[in-house]
Chains A and B, each alone.
Chain A
Amino acid sequence: MVGIPTFIHVFFIWLPTIASGVLSFTSWNGIGLDKIRFIGLKNYTDLFTGVYPPFWPAIQHNLIWLAVFTFVATPIGIFFAVLLDKEIRGTRIYQSALYLPVVLSLAIVGFIWQLIYSPDQGLINSLLGTAKTPDATDWLGDRSINLWMILIAAGWRHVGYIMVLYLAGLKSVDPNLKEAAAIDGATETQTFFRVVFPVLRPINLVVIVITVIESLRAFDLVFITNRGLNGLELLSVLVTNNIIGEASRIGFGSAIAMILLVVSVGPIIYYLTRSLRAEQA
């Protein structure tokens, strides 16, 4: 009863994770298991010393992604959840509008925003009157701005996601708490930060973990836009390029995957101890 599902999960998820770790210390082109050579830490030293140029930009882009999600998109999502938690007319309609992007795949999100950003036919350049002129801004092609443009599209979806999660949390808060605070003369802002926010500690943790994990998982949107090149490099894209690219460098790709793993292990453990401790209680 437990055996088959556990086998499937361990064999297809955990075994490859461990294998990634082992392969990250090897050099292998993927052909013939006997060709695997252990080279120690060379893949890692190559990465950190800049032998592989896209590495540091990818790290930087992942960090920017994380920062924008954490300090902009997630707070906006929470803000909307707080606004929509009030008894206002039409709240269901507003909720639906904000959460609509959440059901769309990131590939489709990429397509939809291309309609807005493209230089010749896009909405922004058409509005600016620069469409089909040399003055047109290539919002997704110009490497000094394209990451930010992609983050708007990614954030557009992330805000709705956080809003839905947080709203569910807010609904579970005892309304008497808020009323008591109001009676005591607290303003709505004070009530939220001093009363509601601390009570929502469990959901705050979930939101933080989701924000971090989503930032590390980012892939689809940049890949559909330009295969993650030219200003849109991300760790996830580099891993992919090293296995399906023209030259498959399994060991090297695995080393990048390991760095991704090490960064995600923190939030995963945080989440596990949090949620499982709550379970024991």
Chain B
Amino acid sequence: MTVTTAEPPAALATAVALRHRRTPPQRVVLQGFLILTSLVWMAPILWAVYTSLRPYAETARLGYVSIGGIYNLDNFVNSWNGAELPKYFLNTLIIVVPAVILTLFLASMVAFAVSRYSWRLNLLLLMVFTAGNLLPQQVVITPLYRIYLLVLGIPEPLSDNGRLYDQYLGIMIIHIAFQLGFCTFVLSNYMKTIPRELNEAAVVDGAGVFRTYREIILPLCRPPLAALATLQFTWIYNDFFWALILMRTGDKLPITSALNNLKGQFFVDNNLIAAGSILVALPTLIVFFVLQKQFIRGLTLGSTKG
């Protein structure tokens, strides 16, 4: 980000202020336009919330576009229990937590090596990782599906059929492999802004490569790591595709992929769909409300430097 310290000269500032003061009607129009747009933008979500609060019998009697009748949380209770949402939430948790931690750990090591030491292969490595992250998932899926079926002999706690197919481990690995690209790119950009002298000082003090990484560089990378963790949590949580193809057992699906089966099976009317959607969106909505800064920072770190 550009740092601007110079204040505009006084004359300039007043000129700008005058310009602004002269155009209040424009401001009013702008405010009105933005309020209207925001409402239109929120409308689908507000509509989902409204529908979810009304029992199906009420909307069948009064119509969906109506006010009155009973409002309660039955749809939430019914979709939570009927669709066995806790089971799928747990599946997601089993996949997301290790995947995010391992992705950041592995990416930070590559980024460290690429940004702190000059090797001939640095640029190539960075290109491989960055390009890999931009590939459409479907380009990889056909052979990947076969590899997941072919690999044998994965020991028991990691895989209960010896394969990567139909396993939490398999889903975790493909997320890590894919997301490594983006995280390496972002972290190496960030690490480049850390003065190289820090490395040299560490070496003079007798610290090895790993100690320099762990005790000097990594602590300085807390801001991008926090932003990336937020972003990766959301992305992996929201992924629909990998588990759709690489999992067969319905009971092991993460929540987002499970939606496809739940549709029509448990979510039989719009009221239940609305309640189910809100429940499934809840973790990401919490990210939105609580960690908004981190999320946006993560998104923009990839596109602007620092």
Q: Which residues of A contact B245 (CB under 8 A)?
A: 240, 243-244
Q: Do B139 and A257 have beta carbons less than 8 Å apart?
A: yes
CB distance from B219 to the nearest CB of A (A): 18
Q: Which residues of A contact B177 (CB under 8 A)?
A: 8-9, 11-13
Interface string of A5-20 (1 = CB under 8 A from B): 1101111111111011
Given A16-B147, A115-B47, A272-B127, check contact A98 B142 (CB 8 Å): no
CB distance from A152 to the nearest CB of B (A): 10
Q: Do A1 and B113 have beta carbons less than 8 Å apart?
A: yes
CB distance from B287 to the nearest CB of A (A): 6
Distance, CA A175 to CA B144, complexed state (A): 49
Q: Do A156 and B44 have beta carbons less than 8 Å apart?
A: yes
CB distance from A132 to the nearest CB of B (A): 9
Interface string of B288-306 (1 = CB under 8 A from A): 1000100110011011110
Q: Which residues of B contact A131 (CB under 8 A)?
A: 63-64
Interface string of A212-249 (1 = CB under 8 A from B): 01001101100110000000000110011011100000
Q: Name the contact of A111 in the complex, choosing from B6, B19, B257, B277 (C-beta under 8 A).
A: B277
CB distance from B306 to the nearest CB of A (A): 9
B229 close to chain A: CB less than 8 A? no
Q: Do A276 and B127 have beta carbons less than 8 Å apart?
A: yes
Consensus secondary structure, chain B interface: helix
A169 close to chain B: CB less than 8 A? yes
Given A112-B45, A219-B241, check contact A98 B137 (CB 8 Å): no
Residues of A within 8 A of B (CB): 1-2, 4-6, 8-17, 19-20, 23, 30, 80, 83-84, 86, 88-90, 93-94, 96-101, 103-108, 111-116, 118, 121-123, 126-127, 131, 156, 160-161, 164-165, 168-169, 171-176, 179, 182-183, 202-203, 206-207, 209-210, 213, 216-217, 219-220, 223-224, 235-236, 239-240, 242-244, 250, 253-254, 257-258, 260-261, 264, 267-269, 271-272, 275-276, 278-279
CB distance from A204 to the nearest CB of B (A): 10
Of B67-75, B82-90, B102-110, B199-207, the one with at least 4 CB within 8 A of chain A? B102-110
Closest to B38 in A: A97
Given A17-B135, A123-B47, A224-B240, check contact A107 B260 (CB 8 Å): yes
Q: Do B4 and A174 have beta carbons less than 8 Å apart?
A: yes
Q: Do A8 and B145 have beta carbons less than 8 Å apart?
A: no
A-B contact pairs, 30 of them (CB 8 A): A2-B109, A2-B110, A8-B177, A12-B173, A12-B174, A13-B132, A20-B142, A88-B30, A94-B35, A94-B37, A96-B292, A101-B44, A103-B284, A104-B285, A107-B238, A107-B256, A108-B277, A111-B274, A123-B65, A168-B296, A179-B16, A182-B19, A202-B304, A210-B303, A217-B137, A219-B137, A224-B260, A244-B245, A253-B142, A257-B142
B195 close to chain A: CB less than 8 A? no
Q: Do B135 and A220 have beta carbons less than 8 Å apart?
A: no
Interface string of B92-113 (1 = CB under 8 A from A): 0000000000000011011011
CB distance from B96 to the nearest CB of A (A): 13
